[in-house]
Amino acid sequence: MKPDVPVVMRGLFGTMLTEIAPNLTAEYSAGSIGIMSMMIFMTAEEYDRAADIRAAENAEMRALFAEAAGLVDDAGLKAKLAEAAKGRDGSLRVSALDKENSALAALLIELHVHAEESTAPHAAGLEARIWDYLLASVERRKLPFPALG
């Protein structure tokens, strides 16, 4: 048997919320089980999409770095961007993708600071591109709220 993690977790969510919580007499316990069941639901969703989101973000940051490496004047930053742009995810394990995502995000912050402080003609466009990436990332990572009722 290969357990389908999201299916199992959503089943737990439904049981906890519709069968267990209504039968608890203590208000605190019912509230706690409600919160736990919501966390299980959201964890199921994150489990299903985690690798896809991180791999997409890593690829998008690398593409942004490849573009930015041709624009920035700072030699040290240019070298970091070019090196990061050539990188690839070595594993699809979420922990490995998270580690790479964190390293790329740190470089993105450095690039963002550079774009904000720069008076070069490319700076405003680069900053807008960074904000576009950040907004898309937030949208991708939004957790759904289950339809109840």
15-24 pLDDT per residue, tens: 888 888 888 8
Percent of the chain whose predicted confidence (pLDDT) is above 90: 63
Whether 66 is covered by a domain: the verdict is yes
Q: Which two tokens stand for residue 23?
A: 């039968």
Whether 19 is covered by a domain: the verdict is yes
Whether 148 is covered by a domain: the verdict is no
Question: Cα separation of 115 and 111, whole Å?
Answer: 6
| Non-local CB neighbours of 88 within 8 Å, separated by 6+ positions | none
Longest dimension (CA), the chain: 66
> How many CB atoms sit inside 10 A of residue 89's CB?
17
pTM above 0.85, yes or no: no
Confidence of residue 149 (pLDDT cuts 50, 70, 90): low
Mean pLDDT in the chain?
A: 92
Whether 149 is covered by a domain: the verdict is no
Count how many domains the chain has: 1
Whether 146 is covered by a domain: the verdict is no
pLDDT greater than 80 at residue 14: yes
Question: Cα separation of 106 and 69, whole Å?
Answer: 16
pLDDT greater than 80 at residue 137: yes
**50: burial class by Cβ within 10 Å (0-12, 13-18, 19+)?**
middle
First to last CA, the chain: 31
Residue 100 structural domain: 5-141
